[in-house]
Amino acid sequence: MPVALAPAEDGARAMLRFHQDNLASAEEPERQWECWRCNLDQVAVALDQQ
């Protein structure tokens, strides 16, 4: 899965983009998004603690 990290337009943040192909079903993107959201929330908490 390709992943890219780039500065956001406001210059104060970063944007993480990822692209997934060949998912198992039409429902799979929503399941994957929930998983990514949870993981990214944990990353945000860890970065805020630095």
1-50 confidence digits (pLDDT tens): 677 888 888 877 888 787 788 889 989 888 888 888 888 899 889 988 87
pLDDT computed for residue 25 by the predictor = 92
**Model confidence, pTM:** 0.53
Q: Which of helix, strand or coil describes residue 19? A: coil
Contact present, 15 and 5 (Cβ < 8 Å): yes
Alpha-carbon distance of 31 to 11, in angstroms, equals: 30
Alpha-carbon distance of 36 to 39, in angstroms, equals: 5
